[in-house]
Amino acid sequence: MINPVQRRQPQPQQERSERSKQVQAEREIARAEEDYQRLRNAYLSLAREEHNEVALAMIGADMDRAHAVLQDLTGLRQLPFTHEPTRVVRREARRLVEENS
């Protein structure tokens, strides 16, 4: 008869597989975070200057998608105030412009 404790212990191959999945997930989250931050910084940079509304809208849409991907990867559900993070960034950019004027 097999001891139940022995049955629960993962095999070394299973441990490596689980670890590689975890590392891959961490990399995906890091890449998604980098994408979001890169787009956010580009949006803020454009919003501080004399800007083109079309460019802001395009970068904002990409930023919203990157934010949604990041939320999905981290397991966060979409909350009503997080559907359009560009609104928050737009307010922040306006505040920064007003403070620097």
pLDDT of residue 2: 57
User: Residue 30 belongs to what domain range?
Assistant: 13-100
Tell which wins on pLDDT, 84 or 58.
58
Q: What is the mean pLDDT of the chain?
A: 78
Evaluate whether residue 8 is within a structural domain. no
Specify the number of domains making up the chain.
1
* CA–CA separation, 11 and 42 (whole Å): 47
Evaluate whether residue 7 is within a structural domain.
no
**Which pLDDT band, with edges at 50, 70 and 90, does 6 fall under?**
low
Q: Is the pLDDT of residue 45 over 70?
A: yes
Instruction: Report yes or no on 21 lying in a domain.
Output: yes
pLDDT band at 38 (very low <50, low <70, confident <90, very high): very high
Q: Is residue 25 part of a domain?
A: yes
pLDDT, residue 55, reads: 85
Separation CA 44–CA 92 (nearest Å): 8
pLDDT band at 14 (very low <50, low <70, confident <90, very high): confident
pLDDT at res. 78:
66
Other C-beta atoms lying within 10 Å of the C-beta of residue 1? 3
Q: Whole-angstrom Cα distance, residue 46 to residue 64?
A: 16
Question: Is residue 6 a part of any domain in this protein?
Answer: no
pLDDT of residue 96: 75
Tell whether 52 is covered by a domain: yes
At 5 the pLDDT is 55
